[in-house]
Amino acid sequence: MRVLLVHPSPLMYSELYLRLEPLGLERVAAAIEAAGHEVRLLDLQIFQHADYWREMQTFAPQAVGFSVNYLANVPEVVDLAKETKARPGAPFVFVGGHSASFIASEFLDHADGAIDCIVRGEGEVIAPLVLEAIGDPKLETLPGVVTRHGAGPSPTLLRDLDLHLPARHLGRRRHKYFIGVLDPCASIEFTRGCPWDCSFCSAWTFYGRSYRKGSPEAAVEDLARIREPNVFIVDDVAFIQAEHGFGIAREIERRRIRKQYYLETRCDVLIKNQELFAYWKRLGLYYMFLGIEALDEEALRLHRKRVTLNENLRALEIARSLGLTVAINIIADPSWDEARFRAVRDWALTVPEVVHFTVATPYPGTELWLTESRQLTSRDYRLFDVQHAVLPTTMPLQRFYEELVRTQAVLNRKHLGWGAIRRYGGAALSAAARGQTNYLRMLWKFSTVYNPERQYADHQKPVRYEMRPPRPMAGPRPTKQELYVHMPAPVH
């Protein structure tokens, strides 16, 4: 069967700092290819809708699968599915990914019959079975599958992460993928899931709080296939288990692979596994993201981060002493006033790190989605991108955006424009000499992407698809049934 897999258009973030390969789709593609199908992959972060329609004509797929990890992409995918189904000889249309998994039935309702099924959870096991069941009523009995007529049992976890390494050969224009100065940059996955349970996050609810590791040999085999000199390690929390991180590192040394790496981890993990991170620094670890989230104990407790402010500050010192470029994130609450923004801005100016600000957003799939007592001010999917306020702001909304962007602009002052050229000019120019200009191009784009008027105007756009409000909880706390996509068992 001819199968076209599609990643939707870029999010607000990817307009500036990064653009990353659709690793989830590449893994699903590998599983589908292994089942004997002919697969093509189209990434609309790079290509245009016109390219999608061209592909529909020239490749004439019998099935089209969309990846929806982000709510902001829901309207685009619903519209593409509707237009696809309106044309003669329409293919089977299915959708997977994080956000799709958490809002399966409302997604199907918006599509009004244009989406044949949503595939909840990991795609590797189930996608080939879905293709096999097209046209058969057994489709809606498959694990993780939801149609307008029924839903199968909880999805099946992939038994072994070493299976179905990403089908990177299907990617086109790979030189467009980058993160900051790591230009170009590929992505890789070493582990899946997270054992913590932060209230604003859905990494743990998606995988039913499970945590799995691939073998160091398979991970490094995958790494060896990557042509790019830079690699984004996509694990939610990198190197939780030191032995696994050392195992991969030793294998990299044994195979004499030299690359630069970006990873994301927790402050307590960095403190606990300092030696491991120092080893990775020697191997090429360049850029690290630490989820600090808050500058006070009360907010850390509310986010249920299970780290203290002191631990966070200690981790920053360790990262600095290792000589890493460090990015951190702070969650701005819509309740913040001018004084709060000023205090955070002053702090951000005193630290050498790249400081990002996101807006507290109850995302479906998180505990916060069910427990947040404040009323949503918007249910427009496009505004659920952690850059817009969807909860009531204490300041007038326009003022909130002015303060937010002013605070985000600290990053612009410190790490973009000429400041960046002074700091990373050598790396940027040598990338440019190789024809890689993604990073150079981002340096002066800040105010076209982060703009208070634009953010405020987004709230005035007509809303065609509205999210369903959260369902009331059965008890005082959300249950596993209410939160998890993958229930803890079974593993196949």
Residue 245: CB partners within 8 Å, gap ≥ 6?
238, 239, 273, 276, 279, 280
Residue 481: CB atoms within 10 Å: 9
Q: How far apart are CB 195 and ligand SF4 at their closest, in Å? A: 8
Residue 187: CB partners within 8 Å, gap ≥ 6?
20, 21, 23, 177, 231, 232, 233, 234
328 binds ligand B12 (CB under 6 A): no
Q: How far apart are CB 198 and ligand SF4 at their closest, in Å? A: 3
Residue 39 region by backbone torsions, left for phi larger than 0, else alpha for psi between -120 and 50, else beta: beta
CA–CA separation, 445 and 437 (whole Å): 13
Select from 96-104, 307-315, 390-398, 403-411 the region that touches ligand B12 (CB under 6 A).
Answer: 96-104
How are beta strands 63-67 and 92-96 bridged, if at all? parallel
Residue 237 interaction partner, one of ligand SF4, ligand B12, none, beta carbon < 5-8 Å per kind = ligand SF4
Cβ atoms of 367 and 483 within 8 Å: the answer is: yes
366-385 residues near ligand B12, rule: CB under 6 A: 385
Residue 210 backbone phi and psi in degrees, to 5: -90, 165
184 binds ligand B12 (CB under 6 A): no
187 binds ligand B12 (CB under 6 A): yes
CA–CA separation, 262 and 50 (whole Å): 33
Residue 283 backbone phi and psi in degrees, to 5: -80, -15
| Cβ proximity to ligand SF4, 387 vs 455, nearer residue | 387
Q: How far apart are CB 266 and ligand SF4 at their closest, in Å? A: 5
| Cβ proximity to ligand B12, 310 vs 448, nearer residue | 448
237-256 residues near ligand B12, rule: CB under 6 A: none
Among 24, 91, 245, 334, binds ligand B12 (CB under 6 A): 24
How are beta strands 117-119 and 92-96 bridged, if at all? parallel
Q: How far apart are CB 192 and ligand SF4 at their closest, in Å? A: 11
332 binds ligand B12 (CB under 6 A): no
Residue 27: CB atoms within 10 Å: 22
Q: Is 253 helix (H, G, I), strand (E, B) or coil?
A: helix
CA–CA separation, 208 and 484 (whole Å): 5
Among 4, 29, 55, 99, binds ligand B12 (CB under 6 A): 99
Q: What share of the chain is helix, strand, coil (3-state, %, to 5)?
A: 45, 15, 40
96 binds ligand B12 (CB under 6 A): yes
Residue 47 interaction partner, one of ligand B12, ligand SF4, none, beta carbon < 5-8 Å per kind = none
433-452 residues near ligand B12, rule: CB under 6 A: none
| Cβ proximity to ligand SF4, 178 vs 204, nearer residue | 204
| Cβ proximity to ligand SF4, 56 vs 316, nearer residue | 316
| Element at 472 (helix H, strand E) | none
Q: How many residues bind ligand B12 (CB under 6 A)?
A: 41
Residue 180 interaction partner, one of ligand SF4, ligand B12, none, beta carbon < 5-8 Å per kind = none
| Element at 10 (helix H, strand E) | none
Select from 209-217, 234-242, 415-423, 451-459 the region that touches ligand B12 (CB under 6 A).
Answer: 234-242
| Cβ proximity to ligand SF4, 47 vs 289, nearer residue | 289
Among 77, 104, 139, 234, binds ligand B12 (CB under 6 A): 234
Half-sphere exposure of 263 (CA within 13 A, CB side): 27
Q: How far apart are CB 159 and ligand SF4 at their closest, in Å? A: 23
CA–CA separation, 357 and 374 (whole Å): 21
77 binds ligand B12 (CB under 6 A): no
Residue 432: CB atoms within 10 Å: 15
Among 183, 236, 293, 402, binds ligand B12 (CB under 6 A): 236
Residue 417 region by backbone torsions, left for phi larger than 0, else alpha for psi between -120 and 50, else beta: left
Q: How far apart are CB 348 and ligand SF4 at their closest, in Å? A: 20
| Cβ proximity to ligand SF4, 197 vs 217, nearer residue | 197
Task: List b or e across 74-93, with b for residues whose CB sees 16 or more CB atoms inside 10 angstroms.
Answer: bbbbbbbbbebbeeeebbbb
Q: Which residues lie near ligand B12 (CB under 6 A)?
A: 11-14, 18, 20, 22-25, 27-28, 65, 67, 69-70, 72, 94, 96-99, 102, 119, 122-124, 127, 187, 189, 201-203, 234-236, 358, 363, 365, 385-386
